[in-house]
Amino acid sequence: MTHFFCRIIKDFRSLCRNIILKGCDFLIRLNDVNKVFTDGHKVLNNINLHIQKGEFVFLVGSSGAGKSTLIKLMLKETEATTGKIVIDNEDITKMRRRYIPHLRRNIGVVFQDFKLLQEKTVYENVAFAMEVIEASPREVRRQVPIILSMVGLSKKYDLYPQQLSGGEQQRVSLARAMVNSPKILIADEPTGNLDPDTSREIMKLLVEINQRGTTILMATHAKDIVDNMKKRVVAIEGGRIVRDEMRGAYCRET
Amino acid sequence: MSLASVTSITATLLVIGIFVMLALNFDYIATNIESQVEMKAFLVDGLGQDVIESMKKNVESLDGVKTVTFESKTQALEKFKEKFNNNSYLLEGLDDRNPLPDSLIVTMISPNNAKEISESISKMSDVENVVYGKEVLDKLLKITYALRVGCLLLIAVLLIISTFIIANTIKLTVFARRREISIMKFVGATDWFVRWPFIIEGVVIGIIGSIITVLALSSVYMYFVKTLSGSMLGIMSFTIMPFSEIVIDTTFFVTCIGIFIGFLGSVISVRKFLKV
Ligand SMILES: Nc1ncnc2c1ncn2[C@@H]1O[C@H](COP(=O)(O)OP(=O)(O)OP(=O)(O)O)[C@@H](O)[C@H]1O
Ligand SMILES: [Mg+2]
């Protein structure tokens, strides 16, 4: 009997939520997402996260909290154990393997370690991202210089990653992430390897990208950046969302 | 394109190619022997020329019969004498009372039809007996069948083994480019986009390996044919497959197998690295 009522209440709750959420323009929706690794380690616990189009969201939390795992779920690099993840109105938990490339073309990704190809020049590293999705050579020749000038690397297009500073390498990886104009940019500790000044420049670029309409989700440990920006902050601890504030700071305000 | 891949695909293709040549030869020799199998229908004594002619026509009209020739009892005796040339004491007195019957010698399109043909002929009037070396023929059919199946099974097993050897060799190339592959996958490349350069590489390696294999095997075979034709062929009742025929067949099979192994090997070796 109680079981029956519980189910009715649960159904009613999710119905209400669906009605409310339908009205908004959510680009990313995570509902009751759990992730348990095969070794039994429960890394994400009942995550509910909704991100609107055009938002700038910081994901904070101590090491091992589950930030990178959350990001991997959105890229479908690993599967959620239970729950629903909807990105750009597509339920990716039910998505077939062969549609994953289309999901990823909608999401640009930037990592702490840049992940550039050392044997390719700046230009080639960015063009590579377009060639991979089978853009025409003409489009590549048109689009790559535009994006390189946006990140301020027009003059260094012919250099190899080893010839660049960390900040410049991160700009290249930003250019690569943005060259196919994705709706979402996910950055996993993009300033993790950079000094404060260089970090600030990268953040300036991210803000600019965000102002042009790209939704940004950024996992970070950089307290001063989060505190300065006064953007939405989602804090994770032990796999749970413990805080979600619209104009938040790195730590809970006391 | 690694030398290691070409070497290992050539090595496996050489082994497979030897068995392909063996299988082709078994087939060739078997059909040769089969086509030489004769059937003899012994006739009642003292039949007229016209009766024999019409019987010959009847037998010729049977399904699966290739040729029919008449052998009179005198001709049979001549042959018999020829065979036992040195033991003429055996033949003493045979000239006066020739015990050998007249017969029709029947050759068949395929020995598989022997049973039905012999049955139909025995039912005809004036036929005493039909012989065709039933046991020998059955055994021969069984042996050639077993050899063919055996060769094919062996080739199939070798195919599986060599595909995995090749996959492991190509995996080294793929491994060297795993970073590039994972980045490709991150920016939204489809599996096939990542795969096809490796597949082309695998197929090209397969073709190069096949060319080397065919050149090596055919020169060895040519040498083999030359030495054999000089010494042994006279003694044996069969010949091995002529060079011009086997080269075409072997080239076809080895190239197909090479391409197949190269293709499948690359697909398998890339598979693990696509899971990003
Ligand atoms: N494949 C895996 N199998 C088992 N456990 C894993 C696996 N991947 C991650 N984990 C565990 O999940 C937890 C969260 O990892 P995650 O990388 O998401 O943390 P994070 O918040 O990104 O940390 P950091 O800030 O250091 O990057 C860790 O305890 C980690 O050991
Ligand atoms: Mg992390």
Among A161, A180, A199, which residue terminates a domain?
A: A180
Note the pLDDT of residue B259. 95
Nearest CA to ligand 1 atom 17: A68
Q: Above 90 in pLDDT, residue B42?
A: no
Q: Are A151 and A96 in contact (CB under 8 A)?
A: no
Is B93 in CB contact (< 8 Å) with chain A? no
Closest-CA residue in chain A for B190? Answer: A101
Nearest CA to ligand 1 atom 6: A37
Note the pLDDT of residue B89. 66
User: Which residue has better confidence, A15 or B267?
Assistant: B267
Note the pLDDT of residue A20. 59
User: Which residue has better confidence, B173 or B83?
Assistant: B173
Answer whether A180 sits within 8 Å of B186, measured CB to CB: no
The helix/strand/coil state of B41 is strand
Note the pLDDT of residue A14. 65
Q: In this structure, is residue A27 part of a structural domain?
A: no
Answer whether B179 sits within 8 Å of A101, measured CB to CB: no
Is A17 in CB contact (< 8 Å) with chain B? no
- Asked whether residue A149 falls in the same domain as residue A45, the answer is no
**Crossing angle (nearest 10°) for helices A137-150 and A166-178:** 140
Q: In this structure, is residue A20 part of a structural domain?
A: no
Of the candidates A234, A240, A241, A208, the residue with the CA atom closest to the CA atom of residue A220? A234
- Asked whether residue A48 falls in the same domain as residue A59, the answer is yes
Kindly state if the Cβ of A68 falls inside 6 Å of ligand 1: yes
Q: Give dist(CA A187, CA A199) in Å, integer.
A: 13
pTM score, two decimals?
Answer: 0.73
Kindly state if the Cβ of A69 falls inside 6 Å of ligand 1: yes
- Asked whether residue A43 falls in the same domain as residue A137, the answer is no
Catalogue all structural domains in chain B, each as residue range(s) with its CATH number. 2-33+138-274 (no CATH), 38-132 (3.30.70.3040)
Which tokens hold the place of B266? 């690359």
Residues of chain A predicted below pLDDT 50: none
Q: Give dist(CA A153, CA A146) in Å, integer.
A: 10
Among A180, A201, A227, which residue terminates a domain?
A: A180
Element of type H or E holding B71: strand B65-71
Kindly state if the Cβ of A66 falls inside 6 Å of ligand 1: yes
Q: In this structure, is residue A60 part of a structural domain?
A: yes
Q: Above 80 in pLDDT, residue B196?
A: yes
Is A186 in CB contact (< 8 Å) with chain B? no
Residue A222 backbone dihedrals phi, psi, to 5 degrees: -80, 95
User: Which residue has better confidence, A121 or B136?
Assistant: A121
Is B192 in CB contact (< 8 Å) with chain A? no
Is B184 in CB contact (< 8 Å) with chain A? yes
Q: What percent of chain B has pLDDT over 70?
A: 91
Sort out which chain B residues have CB atoms less than 8 A from A117's CB and list them. 179-180, 183
Task: Give me the half-sphere count of Cα atoms (radius 13 Å) on the Cβ side of residue B34.
Answer: 20
SS (H, E, C) chain A: CHHHHHHHHHHHHHHHHHHHHHHCCEEEEEEEEEEECCCCCEEEEEEEEEEECCCEEEEECCCCCCHHHHHHHHCCCCCCCEEEEEECCEECCCCCHHHHHHHHHCEEEEECCCCCCCCCCHHHHHHHHHHHCCCCHHHHHHHHHHHHHHCCCHHHCCCCHHHCCHHHHHHHHHHHHHCCCCCEEEEECCCCCCCHHHHHHHHHHHHHHHHCCCEEEEECCCHHHHHHHCCEEEEEECCEEEEEECCCCCCCCC
- Asked whether residue A163 falls in the same domain as residue A194, the answer is no
User: Which residue has better confidence, B145 or B210?
Assistant: B210
Which of B179, B193, B276 is nearest residue A132 as measured by Cβ atoms? B193
Q: What is the dihedral of CA A138, A144, A149, A155, to 10 degrees?
A: -100
The number of folded domains in chain A is: 2
Q: Are B66 and B38 in contact (CB under 8 A)?
A: no
Q: In this structure, is residue A13 part of a structural domain?
A: no
CA torsion sign for B266, B269, B272, B276 is negative
Q: In this structure, is residue A232 part of a structural domain?
A: yes
Q: Are B54 and B126 in contact (CB under 8 A)?
A: no
pLDDT band at B237 (very low <50, low <70, confident <90, very high): low
DSSP string, B109-135: S-GGGHHHHHHHHHHSTTEEEEE--HH
- Asked whether residue A157 falls in the same domain as residue A241, the answer is no
- Asked whether residue A99 falls in the same domain as residue A202, the answer is yes
Which of A98, A115, A132 is nearest residue B188 as measured by Cβ atoms? A132
Q: Give dist(CA B250, CA A155) in Å, integer.
A: 58
Q: Nearest C-alpha of chain B: how many angstroms from A66? A: 19
Q: Above 60 in pLDDT, residue B199?
A: yes
Phi-psi region of A114 (alpha: psi -120 to 50; beta: other; left: phi over 0): left
Closest atom of ligand 1 to A62 CA is 25
Which of A115, A117, A133 is nearest residue B188 as measured by Cβ atoms? A133
Is A117 in CB contact (< 8 Å) with chain B? yes
- Asked whether residue A170 falls in the same domain as residue A216, the answer is no
- Asked whether residue A193 falls in the same domain as residue A97, the answer is yes
CATH of residue A221: 3.40.50.300
Answer whether B183 sits within 8 Å of A117, measured CB to CB: yes
- Asked whether residue A209 falls in the same domain as residue A228, the answer is yes
Q: Give dist(CA A6, CA A18) in Å, integer.
A: 18
Closest atom of ligand 1 to A67 CA is 21
**Ligand 1 mutation target, pool A33, A38, A39, A41, most atoms within 8 A of CB:** A41
B76 Cβ contact list (under 8 Å, min separation 6): B100, B101, B102, B103
- Asked whether residue A101 falls in the same domain as residue A146, the answer is no
B60 Cβ contact list (under 8 Å, min separation 6): B68
Q: Above 70 in pLDDT, residue B25?
A: yes
Alpha-carbon A155 to chain mean position: 28
Q: Stretch B186-203: mean pLDDT, rounded?
A: 92
Q: In this structure, is residue A1 part of a structural domain?
A: no
Answer whether A98 sits within 8 Å of B191, measured CB to CB: yes
Among A149, A180, A211, which residue terminates a domain?
A: A180
Note the pLDDT of residue A15. 66
Which tokens hold the place of B49? 């020329």
Q: Are B198 and B262 in contact (CB under 8 A)?
A: no
Answer whether B276 sits within 8 Å of A77, measured CB to CB: yes
pLDDT band at B210 (very low <50, low <70, confident <90, very high): very high
Residue A225: which domain range? 34-106+182-249
Q: In this structure, is residue A21 part of a structural domain?
A: no
Q: Above 90 in pLDDT, residue B132?
A: no
- Asked whether residue A198 falls in the same domain as residue A98, the answer is yes
Which tokens hold the place of A177? 């992430």
pLDDT band at B214 (very low <50, low <70, confident <90, very high): very high
Q: In this structure, is residue A254 part of a structural domain?
A: no
- Asked whether residue A192 falls in the same domain as residue A79, the answer is yes
Closest-CA residue in chain B for A105? Answer: B188
Answer whether B183 sits within 8 Å of A109, measured CB to CB: no
B-interface mutation test, from A132, A180, A188, most B Cβ less than 10 A away: A132
Kindly state if the Cβ of A61 falls inside 6 Å of ligand 1: yes
